[in-house]
Amino acid sequence: MLRLAPADGFIGRSPQIVEMLSMLARVAETDSTVLIRGESGVGKELVARAVHRQSRRSRQPFVVVDCASLHENLLQSELFGHEKGAYTGAVRLKHGLFEVADRGTIFLDEIGEITPALQVKLLRVIETGTFRRVGGTVDIKVDVRVIAATNRALETMMKEKAFREDLYYRLNVFSLAIPPLRERREDIPLLVEHFVRNSAIAPRRGVRVSAEAMDVLTRYLWPGNVRELENVIERALILCDGGVILPDHLPLGVRLEPSFRPADEDGRLVTLEEVERRYVKRVLEECKGHRQNAASILGISERNLYRKIKELGAAKSEPPAREP
């Protein structure tokens, strides 16, 4: 079994993972900017932390920024800080996260969600290592390694003028692609064993997974990737009373053919966008329209989920969304 480090929890021995970890080890030794690509739930932050942990900056801060969770003005203040009196409510000086990460690493998750105006400011700090606080007039110099992650096609966004080409090329110095779980099924038993062994529930009961349940788990497509698998195992451990996880302890959607089948009834394969639309719709149905719970299962922010609902039309037949 191959993993990044005992505490990392990134487990796998499939050829795709072995190759990705080899590339990770090489780039970790440098100060190059890294762009991590992969679907929601594959472990992009885990990989970013591994790059930092194996770098010469490992004893310095590792700062995580969820670019999708804040509106532009708030995100700008979070990244670069603000001077006292810069705007209404700025009653004291605030140090930005680039300052906090000085000599360390900053991880910009969901980088594709930032606005074009903020992309310009981010480009400047990556190129020059300097920025100004909101309301400030003095350039601040920092030494920060940038790691970004996205589940979006930045190349398509560039063509649509939604993402700057110069920023893309600054971020995409070295790309690490994390394969989805459905493309490395041989890793599923290892991950299941890991989640059972490290659960706060299982050690007290010595739980194991039956061969029938493992067969179900390895056949499922896992659109939510590793995060979905971890949630399914936690649920099964809660329901399991006899020390053995059985198929009945797994969610119905996992045991049966998924409702977001990648092919229509006539066998025609559908687009990735259609697969995503069907899965988002299914999760919303399971959560009875509760967007906070659905976003948690999907591993994205509520803001990102709202955007997907609008873009994909995934909630057209859903009941009105309940407030969190």
Going by C-alpha positions, the residue among 267, 243, 176, 191 that lies closest to residue 222 is: 191
Average pLDDT, the chain: 86
Which of 12-26, 202-216, 304-318 holds the top average pLDDT? 12-26
Q: What pLDDT is attached to residue 3?
A: 39
Q: Are residues 246 and 296 in the same domain?
A: yes
CATH at residue 20: 3.40.50.300
238-273 pLDDT, tens digit per residue, is 998 888 999 999 988 888 755 455 556 566 777 878
Specify if 323 maps to a domain.
no
85-110 pLDDT, tens digit per residue, is 777 777 788 899 999 999 999 999 99
pLDDT above 90 coverage of the chain, percent: 58
Q: What pLDDT is attached to residue 204?
A: 60
Q: Are residues 81 and 218 in the same domain?
A: no
Q: What pLDDT is attached to residue 295?
A: 83
Specify if 279 maps to a domain.
yes
Q: Are residues 48 and 173 in the same domain?
A: yes
Q: What pLDDT is attached to residue 321?
A: 47
* DSSP symbols for 191-203: HHHHHHHT-SSGG
Lookup: tokens for 265: 């009834």
Which of 12-21, 129-138, 143-152, 312-321 holds the top average pLDDT? 143-152
45-68 pLDDT, tens digit per residue, is 999 999 999 999 999 999 999 999
Q: Give 106's Cβ-side CA count (13 Å radius).
A: 26
More confident residue, 7 or 156: 156
- 12, β-bridge pairs: 2
Domain end call among 125, 156, 177: 177
pLDDT above 50 for 322: no
Domain end call among 156, 177, 198: 177
* DSSP symbols for 222-288: -TTHHHHHHHHHHHHHHH--SSEE-GGGS-HHHHSPPTT-SB-TTS-B--HHHHHHHHHHHHHHHTT
Specify if 280 maps to a domain.
yes
Are 37 and 178 a contacting pair, CB within 8 Å? yes
The mean pLDDT of 21-31, rounded to a whole number, is 95
Taking every pair of C-alpha atoms in the chain, what is the biggest distance, in angstroms?
A: 66
Q: Are residues 303 and 263 in the same domain?
A: yes
Specify if 322 maps to a domain.
no
Specify if 67 maps to a domain.
yes
d(CA 19, CA 25): 10
Q: Are residues 157 and 287 in the same domain?
A: no
CATH at residue 260: 1.10.8.60
Q: What pLDDT is attached to residue 205?
A: 66
Q: What pLDDT is attached to residue 289?
A: 84
Are 159 and 113 a contacting pair, CB within 8 Å? no
Specify if 44 maps to a domain.
yes
Query: Cα separations (Å) of 65 from 16, 72, 76, 257, 316?
Result: 27, 13, 11, 36, 32
Going by C-alpha positions, the residue among 120, 68, 61 that lies closest to residue 96 is: 61
Domain end call among 177, 205, 236: 177
Q: Are residues 209 and 77 in the same domain?
A: no
191-248 pLDDT, tens digit per residue, is 999 999 888 886 666 889 999 999 999 999 898 999 999 999 999 999 988 889 999 9
Q: How far is CA 292 from the centre of its chain?
A: 16
Are 98 and 76 a contacting pair, CB within 8 Å? no
pLDDT above 80 for 173: yes
38-48 pLDDT, tens digit per residue, is 999 999 999 99
Q: Give 81's Cβ-side CA count (13 Å radius).
A: 21
More confident residue, 255 or 143: 143
Task: Please tell me the total count of domains within the chain.
Answer: 2
Are 220 and 258 a contacting pair, CB within 8 Å? yes
- The whole domain housing 148 covers 2-177
Q: How is residue 134 annotated by DSSP?
A: B
Q: Of 12-21, 124-133, 159-168, 259-268, where does mean pLDDT reach its minimum?
A: 259-268
Q: Are residues 58 and 96 in the same domain?
A: yes
